[in-house]
Amino acid sequence: MKRYLLVTITLLILVACAAKKKAAAEKSLPTEGQLMAVQKKFPDATMANLQKGHELFYGKCTRCHGPKNISKRSEKEWPKILDKMAPRAKLSPEDKDAVYKYVMSVKLGGKSK
């Protein structure tokens, strides 16, 4: 009986965490304003690129920890963070670039609603 209760509680916690993570990801979908802001620094950035970066940030990048507050870290800190974390998250160079551009779009264009 105790085992059943423990399994049930564990499943409920996992479901609640997944729902919270999904809600956070949906609130931060890239916007046109963010795309325009990041294109000033990275003219080759596209909405598809930002969407891929968003998906990776809220997928692979948050698998081991919750989503980090992008605005709390400076533009100069993010390359170092990504250099350190990309191998752990098994990001390809293209994936890493997409995450970087997504993060910069949030930093430069503000949070999406």
The tens digit of pLDDT for each residue in 50-79 reads 999 999 999 988 888 888 889 899 999 999
pLDDT band at 27 (very low <50, low <70, confident <90, very high): low
For residues 26, 28, 30 and 32, what is the CA-based torsion angle, rounded to 10 degrees? 110
pLDDT band at 25 (very low <50, low <70, confident <90, very high): very low
Q: What is the pLDDT of residue 22?
A: 46
pTM here is: 0.73
Give per-residue pLDDT as tens, 74-95: 999 999 999 999 999 999 999 9
